[in-house]
Amino acid sequence: EVQLVESGGGLVQPGGSLRLSCAVSGFSLNRHWMHWVRQAPGKGLVWVAHINNDGSTTNYADSVKGRFTISRDNAKNTLYVQMDSLRVEDTAVYYCAREGTGWSKDYWGQGTLVTVSS
Amino acid sequence: DIQMTQSASSLTASVGDRVTITCRASQSISSYLNWYQQKPGKAPKLLIYTASTLLGGVPSRFSGSGSGTYFSLTISSLQPEDSATYYCQQSYSSPLTFGGGTRVEIK
């Protein structure tokens, strides 16, 4: 059974940092591109970043470019996002998602809440 | 960036009704369009990819159509468990973008 489990969310002050993890099981992580998608409270889905199979290629939404870093450890079956210089507007539930057929996101984690507030 | 517009932010229908949700792209995205269902407090679930391919295990009452800039998701006979928010998402080019969502409520 495919599973993605995020962790690392919590309350952080503006300007602070946080690292989220996404532990996967039930499939080989090295065969899939992976994504982070976020959802602010009561709002829609927003793509944040993606990373290719071996981690050599990454891409970011303009809103997080230069502040967030996506990475992966295929040996540990884990995806990460390092979030620095956090802003109040980064407050959201963060989901990791697997790239599937047709560039869809076919499996998602349950999400982890990041709250940026003083 | 490609803008995805779901014209209806919400709709209300009765059990058994045929429901259609539309999504428009700001430029042609061929068939690189996916549909997701999200229930409150839960992660999104993929329903349809490449505009019209139903993911395995998704009820056949769901169908998708369209190409280029205009797409639709149809629920042929609305069921109580279909109460959710539905999002379209283009995977034609980066940044990947989602529509604003259409909330479907049961009358």
DSSP string, B12-71: EE-TT--EEEEEEESS--TT-EEEEEE-TTS--EEEEETTTEEPTTS-TTEEEEEETTEE
Pairwise CA distance, residues A73 & A91, whole Å: 26
> What whole-number percentage of chain B has pLDDT above 70?
100
The whole-number pLDDT of residue A102 equals 82
Statement: residue A101 has pLDDT above 90: no
- Is the N-terminal amide bond of B95 cis, ω within 30° of 0? yes
Token reading at A87: 């802003």
Best residue of B29, B38, B46 to probe chain A, by most A CBs closer than 10 Å: B46
Of A19, A45, A43, A40, nearest to A97 by C-alpha is: A45
Statement: residue B10 has pLDDT above 90: yes
pLDDT tens column, B43-64: 999 999 999 999 999 999 999 9
The whole-number pLDDT of residue A14 equals 98
Token reading at B89: 């998402």
Mean pLDDT score, A72-84: 97
Pairwise CA distance, residues B79 & B14, whole Å: 8
Chain B: closest CA distance from residue A13 (Å): 24
Q: In angstroms, how far is the first alpha carbon of chain A from the final one? A: 40
Instruction: Name the residue type at position B106.
Output: I
Chain A: closest CA distance from residue B98 (Å): 6
Statement: residue B73 has pLDDT above 90: yes
The rounded mean pLDDT for chain A is 97
Q: Check CB contact of B53 with chain A, cutoff 8 Å.
A: yes
> What whole-number percentage of chain A has pLDDT above 70?
100
Mean pLDDT score, B80-106: 97
The rounded mean pLDDT for chain B is 97
Q: Check CB contact of B32 with chain A, cutoff 8 Å.
A: yes
Mean pLDDT score, B75-101: 97
